[in-house]
Structure 1
Amino acid sequence: MRHPIAFTTNRVAPEPIAPAPDRVLRGDPQQLAWNHYTDATGQFSAGIWQGEPGAWRVCYDPHEEEFCVLLEGHMTLTADDGAAQEFRVGDAFVVPGGFTGIWENHTRVRKHYAIMALKKN
Structure 2
Amino acid sequence: MKYKFSKYKISNSVLYDIDVEDDDFYPITLLRFSYWTPQIIQQLIDGVLSTKDSDKEYKYQTEGDDLYIYSNDYGVQFFDLNTQKQDADLVLPHDTFIDFLKDFKAFVETNS
TM-score (norm 1): 0.28
RCO greater where, 1 or 2, for CA within 8 Å and sep 6 or more?
1
Which structure: larger Rg?
1
TM-score by length of 2: 0.29
Question: Of Structure 1 and Structure 2, which has the larger fraction of its residues in helix?
Answer: 2
